[in-house]
Amino acid sequence: MKKDSLSWTVYVMNAVAQAKKSNQVVILEVGKESSGKLLQDALLKLALSGEEAAWMVDIKVRTHLN
């Protein structure tokens, strides 16, 4: 579980860094609603703590229907 948390953290921080560098919206795609909520919560905490670029990262949930 710790490795998964670290992976999500790196995913979010890379997106924020990319948004800050490019000054453009960055879209993170995930496969589950729960993953999207997890990332959204992390981004909100970053934004509220002063990381303005976190507002420029969007989450897109892509679920595949069989």
Mean pLDDT for 26-30 is: 94
Residue 8 CB contacts under 8 Å (≥ 6 apart), including other chains: 35, 38, 39, 42
- pTM of the predicted protein model: 0.84
Residue 32 falls within a domain, yes or no?
yes
66 band by pLDDT with thresholds 50, 70 and 90? very low
Going by the DSSP 8-state scheme, the letter that residue 64 receives in this structure is P
Collapsing DSSP to helix, strand or coil, 14 comes out as helix
Q: Which domain holds residue 29?
A: 2-61
**H or E, element range at 58:** strand 57-61
Torsional sign, CA 29, 3, 6, 44: positive
Residue 66 falls within a domain, yes or no?
no
User: How many independent structural domains does the chain possess?
Assistant: 1
